[in-house]
Amino acid sequence: MVNPMPDNQSHPDMSAGAGQAELPIKVQARDVCVSYSGKQALNHVSIDVPDRSVTAFIGPSGCGKSTFLRCLNRMNDTIEGAKVVGSLKIDGLEVNDKSVDPVVLRANVGMVFQKPNPFPKSIYDNVAYGPRIHGLALSKDELDAIVEDSLKKAGLWDEVADRLNHPGTGLSGGQQQRLVIARAIAVNPEVILMDEPCSALDPIATAKIEELIDELRENYCIIIVTHSMQQAARVSQQTAFFHMGNLVEYGTTEEIFTNPRDPRTQDYITGRFG
């Protein structure tokens, strides 16, 4: 592979800059480093992600996008040999603090994976699972309401309202992905992490998900990893470019796509490598 970047020390701007100033900072990372069994995967990443907006992570394969995403809900804890150092705050609370229960954290930070992974249970149970284990609904009616609300927010209600007890795995890929999003928002998270949510979907399903992301932006802090420049440009307000475990450039999407400062960003978005 390529040699590590020589300019590890020089950090890019960690805030997305002007125009977003009115939005409060939701996620704040300082010098986050991750290694897997001693092998460094993420180098001193510092970034401020604002609330109620969509932030896109782009970069070539293996550059550490998913790794950083997993830091935010401590899914790295479940990976053998993964070691996270540095400071990561959500709403000013240190995520990696011993006092933070990952269960509580993950209820607050939902995650949608690359491949739709509904539980092999009914559509209803898929959405109801989170509220159930967290005790969010006191009665069956309340639970029904949460399920309906989540499915509506995920734009799936109209398609599945009459077959809530059918298995979730029987839906189409795009429907499954929306079901998984509904499952994530059913526990009322504040942050939603999406790791390439559309990579297994056709353009129509992708368009639906993008539309959905745009709607969800009103209420959530959304971080999306994508390999599609167009998608990043369409759905996000901020874009961060990762390369070889470094955060190379971070700014408003418009800025990154029209006027990238780093040559590597330039090369990547114009398709010269990656």
Residue from 38, 39, 80, 218 that binds another protein (CB under 8 A)?
80
Binding to ligand ATP in span 187-246, by CB under 6 A: none
Supply the minimum distance, in Å, between the C-beta of residue 195 and Mg ion.
6
Q: Which helix (H) or strand (E) holds 248?
A: strand 246-252
Supply the minimum distance, in Å, between the C-beta of residue 189 and another protein.
9
Q: Is the Cα dihedral 250, 255, 257, 260 positive or negative?
A: negative
Q: Report the distance separating Cα 214 and Cα 210, nearest Å.
A: 6
Residue from 29, 41, 75, 180 that binds ligand ATP (CB under 6 A)?
41
- DSSP type of residue 167: B
Binding to Mg ion in span 154-193, by CB under 5 A: none
Residues whose CB is less than 8 angstroms from the CB of residue 171 and which lie 6 or more positions away in sequence, other chains included = 118, 123, 160, 179
Supply the minimum distance, in Å, between the C-beta of residue 43 and ligand ATP.
11
- DSSP type of residue 260: -
For residue 173, what are its two tokens?
A: 């890929």
Residue from 11, 30, 52, 134 that binds another protein (CB under 8 A)?
134
Per-residue binding string, another protein, 171-190, x by CB under 8 A, is ---------x--xx-xx---
Q: Could you tell me where the DSSP H helices lie in the chain?
A: 65-72, 102-108, 123-134, 140-153, 157-160, 173-185, 203-216, 229-235, 253-258, 263-269
Residue 67 contacts Mg ion per CB under 5 A: no
Residue 130 contacts another protein per CB under 8 A: yes
Per-residue binding string, ligand ATP, 48-87, x by CB under 6 A, is -----------x-xxxxxxx-----------x--------
CA-CA distances (angstroms) from residue 173 to 57, 75, 116, 118, 218?
23, 24, 7, 10, 25
Supply the minimum distance, in Å, between the C-beta of residue 256 and another protein.
28
Residue 264 contacts another protein per CB under 8 A: no
Residue 76 contacts Mg ion per CB under 5 A: no
Residues whose CB is less than 8 angstroms from the CB of residue 227 and which lie 6 or more positions away in sequence, other chains included = 58, 61, 196, 199
Binding to another protein in span 11-50, by CB under 8 A: none
Supply the minimum distance, in Å, between the C-beta of residue 67 and ligand ATP.
3
Residue 93 contacts another protein per CB under 8 A: no
**CB neighbour burial string for 110-131, b if at least 16 within 10 angstroms, e if fewer:** bbbbeebebeeebbbbbbbebb
Positions that interact with Mg ion (CB under 5 A): 66
Residues that bind another protein (CB under 8 A): 73, 75, 78, 80, 103-107, 110-111, 113, 115, 117-121, 129-130, 133-134, 167, 169, 180, 183-184, 186-187
